[in-house]
């Protein structure tokens, strides 16, 4: 099935999987929207070639640090005591959105939209599904290699570099966040498909998720058993007051003050709906 201009097949999934599509800004606060190319370019050294970001879309450029605004918003909402904790949660939340949209399109349509960072806009003050807006649907193949290129290479690699450089969050932790977000998105898609008697769709979701977790950028970040995932790192959510550990955390319980915060790679995964769908906190 070809992608339709509104990506309407995603609507029944709700939340993390829905993507707004329109040529004009859907937000009541269009000035708050930033093309993700801007987020990566402003924070990542060397990322400067992102063109004019669809000049026919009448959305003023907002150069007021969208990544910083998102991290501050998350820190305030969670009462996070450290900026790196909020940055970790924010990174995983955006990763979960990107994976959820792309996996759902690949499984339901057999194609994925081109999520060019010049076309995909982000409102760092909003939550799913109002945080992302795509100005134009351009269909790409729905195979695993294309999905990895659309999400991992185009978005999550520069996002990881930005968060690591600016907030000092370990790259191993962010890699674990990316894998956890992928596993959570695949698990939720599988559950939705099985609830609706779509066994072939569920099987495709599981197969695609497993293949992506074996990608060189994610391999070894954790262990997938069926749809359950156990990561080798911790997203630091346990450092939020009352946060505990997440359902896929490497720790069975929050580390004590004398214990190393991250064996063997630093990291942890936030409880939904703040970050990854389906990764409950313990």
Determine, yes or no, domain membership for 167.
yes
pLDDT tens, residue by residue, 183-196: 999 999 999 999 99
> CA–CA separation, 217 vs 234, rounded Å?
17
pLDDT tens, residue by residue, 78-117: 999 899 999 999 999 999 999 999 999 999 999 999 999 9
The pTM of this model reads 0.83
Determine, yes or no, domain membership for 155.
yes
**What is the CB neighbour count within 10 angstroms for residue 47?**
16
Cβ atoms of 147 and 37 closer than 8 Å: no
Determine, yes or no, domain membership for 252.
no
Query: Among 169-173, 209-213, 238-242, 257-261, which is the least confidently predicted range?
Result: 257-261
Determine, yes or no, domain membership for 275.
no
The band of 259, judged by pLDDT with boundaries at 50, 70 and 90, is: very low
Determine, yes or no, domain membership for 18.
yes
Domain that residue 162 falls in: 8-50+62-239
Determine, yes or no, domain membership for 258.
no
pLDDT tens, residue by residue, 21-65: 988 877 667 767 889 998 887 444 333 332 333 323 333 333 478
> CA–CA separation, 190 vs 202, rounded Å?
4
Give the residue-averaged pLDDT of 135-141: 95
Domain count, the chain: 1
Residue 251 has pLDDT above 80, yes or no: yes
Determine, yes or no, domain membership for 36.
yes
Determine, yes or no, domain membership for 117.
yes
């Amino acid at each position: 099935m070809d992608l339709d201009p509104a990506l309407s097949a995603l609507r029944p999934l709700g939340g993390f999987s829905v993507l707004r599509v329109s040529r004009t800004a859907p937000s009541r606060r269009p000035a708050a929207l930033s093309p993700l190319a801007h987020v990566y370019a402003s924070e990542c050294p060397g990322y400067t070639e992102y063109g004019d970001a669809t000049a026919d879309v009448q959305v003023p450029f907002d150069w007021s640090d969208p990544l910083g605004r998102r991290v501050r918003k998350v820190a305030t909402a969670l009462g996070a005591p450290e900026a790196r904790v909020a940055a970790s949660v924010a990174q995983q939340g955006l990763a979960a959105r990107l994976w959820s949209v792309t996996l759902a399109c690949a499984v339901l349509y057999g194609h994925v939209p081109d999520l060019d960072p010049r076309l995909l806009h982000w409102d760092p003050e909003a939550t799913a599904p109002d945080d992302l807006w795509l100005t134009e649907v351009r269909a790409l193949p729905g195979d695993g290699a294309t999905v990895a290129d659309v999400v991992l290479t185009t978005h999550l690699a520069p996002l990881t570099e930005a968060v690591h450089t600016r907030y000092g969050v370990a790259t191993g932790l962010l890699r674990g966040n990316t894998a956890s977000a992928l596993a959570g998105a695949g698990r939720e898609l599988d559950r939705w498909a099985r609830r609706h008697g779509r066994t072939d769709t569920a099987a495709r979701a599981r197969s695609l998720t497993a293949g992506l977790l074996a990608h060189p950028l994610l391999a070894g970040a954790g262990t997938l058993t069926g749809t359950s995932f156990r990561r080798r790192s911790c997203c630091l959510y346990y450092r939020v007051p009352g946060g505990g550990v997440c359902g896929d955390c490497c720790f069975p319980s929050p580390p004590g003050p004398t214990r190393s915060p991250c064996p063997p790679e630093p990291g942890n995964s936030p409880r939904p709906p703040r970050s990854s769908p389906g990764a409950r906190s313990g």
